[in-house]
Amino acid sequence: MTVSLYAPAIIAVAIVVAGIIGIKSRISSSIFEVAAGLIIANVLGVSLPSWLDFLGTFGGLVLTFLAGAEVEFILLRKQAKVSFGIGTVAFVAPLLGIIGFLTVFTNWSWDARLAGGLALTTTSVAVVYAVLAEYELIKLPVAKTIISVTFVNDILTLIGINFVHISFDWVTLAFIVVLLALVPIVPKLLSNIVRNYGNRAIEIELRFIIAILLAVSFFADQATLHSVFGAFVLGLIFASSIQQHQGILSKLRTITFTILAPAFFIRAGMLIALPAVIANILLVFALLATKLGSKFVGVYALCKKWIPEAPVFSTMLFSTGLTVGTIVATLGNQLGYLSNTQFSIIVTVVILSAVVPTLIAKRFVPKKV
């Protein structure tokens, strides 16, 4: 049977174009990848290929793993009071705000309200890093504080998705025991693999990480804790050891942001029903306003107290959302918590929340001191 290369060619070109536009505009290419997916499905009429469905799902797992693997525990310990204080409020305030809004103004089910609320609680690590780097703030104390808060916010979001439906049995217990057992084992195992098999063209280190990632993600699903939660916790377990092997982390990022992350975001875009977004455009903007408003009400006072040199700037950065929000919304759709229409609305709000607060933040950039 002849394999059609039409869809792969269209998607490959879209990935390149999205990347170029992202670089030129200094806006995350992920936003343009979602837009490309939306156009490919809704304008060109290309249906979601099975290979992209797998690559996108796998890309979501790897992105979630990287979110955990890049958490700097030393930074979190140094900034514990501030990061957990602001990070917790940055999670709880929009969650309550979105759930409250959806309860009053829509007939969404509890599961849909909770899944949608969780998707809109996040702070985008990618957007935060990009803005801080663009204005050469990345090495300043204020940047380290902002980054540590971002880590806490996303950790709470990825933990929270497990509470949409709480289920606990012997498989869950076994999964938790395995994760605890991996904490002392993983650093030694990774070091042994690097020492004995590292720096070879076949990249055994990456094969090992991918294999254990898929195994743990599968186990997490069987334990009713969701694959993305397993991927994130595994990333946390790997964090300290993999950060000592920057070469491995660099190669993993290269694979991820070359093909896996674009596949994830284009897949998400292809799942957005454009007619549903247009029909519910007022709800989209209302949810965006609710997220930004509840984040501002929740964290501005704390930012003014603990980040006095940049209270508005930091508050706006904590209001951004992108990767983790899209991951949570996608998971909510896959698990049946969010309908296709609800998913389309939530992902559109997530994308807008990556752009609008960023543009506002750029008007309040702190001076470099």
Instruction: Grade residue 369 by pLDDT with cuts at 50, 70 and 90.
Output: very low
Averaged pLDDT for residues 13-31: 91
In this structure, are residues 124 and 324 in contact, taking their beta carbons and an 8 Å threshold?
yes
pTM of the model: 0.87
Give pLDDT, residue 357. Answer: 94
Domain count, the chain: 1
Q: In this prediction, what percent of the chain has a pLDDT beyond 70?
A: 99
Angle between helices 323-334 and 29-42 (to 10 degrees): 40
Give pLDDT, residue 46. Answer: 92
Q: Is the pLDDT of residue 108 over 90?
A: yes
> What are 146-160's pLDDT values in tens digits?
988 998 998 899 888
Q: Is residue 369 part of a domain?
A: no
Averaged pLDDT for residues 92-118: 97
Q: Is residue 293 part of a domain?
A: yes
Q: Is the pLDDT of residue 37 over 80?
A: yes
Averaged pLDDT for residues 267-276: 94
Give pLDDT, residue 135. Answer: 82
In this structure, are residues 65 and 232 in contact, taking their beta carbons and an 8 Å threshold?
yes
Instruction: Grade residue 131 by pLDDT with cuts at 50, 70 and 90.
Output: confident
Give pLDDT, residue 26. Answer: 81
Q: Is residue 208 part of a domain?
A: yes
CATH number of the domain that residue 102 is part of: 1.20.1530.20
Give pLDDT, residue 356. Answer: 94
Q: Is residue 220 part of a domain?
A: yes
Q: Is the pLDDT of residue 133 over 50?
A: yes
> What are 219-261's pLDDT values in tens digits?
998 988 888 889 989 999 998 889 888 889 899 999 999 999 9
Averaged pLDDT for residues 184-191: 90
Q: Is residue 97 part of a domain?
A: yes
Q: Is the pLDDT of residue 368 over 70?
A: no
The 3-state DSSP class for residue 256 equals helix
Q: Which domain holds residue 267?
A: 6-361
Q: Is the pLDDT of residue 167 over 90?
A: no
Averaged pLDDT for residues 300-311: 95
One DSSP character per residue, 101-125 reads: HHHHH----HHHHHHHHHHTS---H
Averaged pLDDT for residues 36-63: 93
Averaged pLDDT for residues 311-329: 93
Q: Is residue 75 part of a domain?
A: yes
Q: Is residue 367 part of a domain?
A: no
Instruction: Grade residue 1 by pLDDT with cuts at 50, 70 and 90.
Output: low
Q: Is residue 1 part of a domain?
A: no
> Rounded CA gap, 339 and 168, in Å?
25
> What are 78-104's pLDDT values in tens digits?
888 999 999 999 999 999 999 999 999
Give pLDDT, residue 210. Answer: 95
Q: Is the pLDDT of residue 346 over 90?
A: yes
Q: Is the pLDDT of residue 164 over 80?
A: no
Averaged pLDDT for residues 309-319: 95
> Rounded CA gap, 342 and 49, in Å?
22
Helical segments of the chain, H only: 6-25, 29-42, 50-69, 73-78, 80-105, 110-119, 125-134, 141-160, 170-197, 204-222, 227-242, 246-255, 261-271, 274-279, 281-306, 311-318, 323-334, 340-361
Averaged pLDDT for residues 65-73: 85
Averaged pLDDT for residues 38-43: 94
Average pLDDT, the chain: 91
Q: Is the pLDDT of residue 12 over 60?
A: yes
Q: Is the pLDDT of residue 76 over 90?
A: no
Give pLDDT, residue 67. Answer: 84
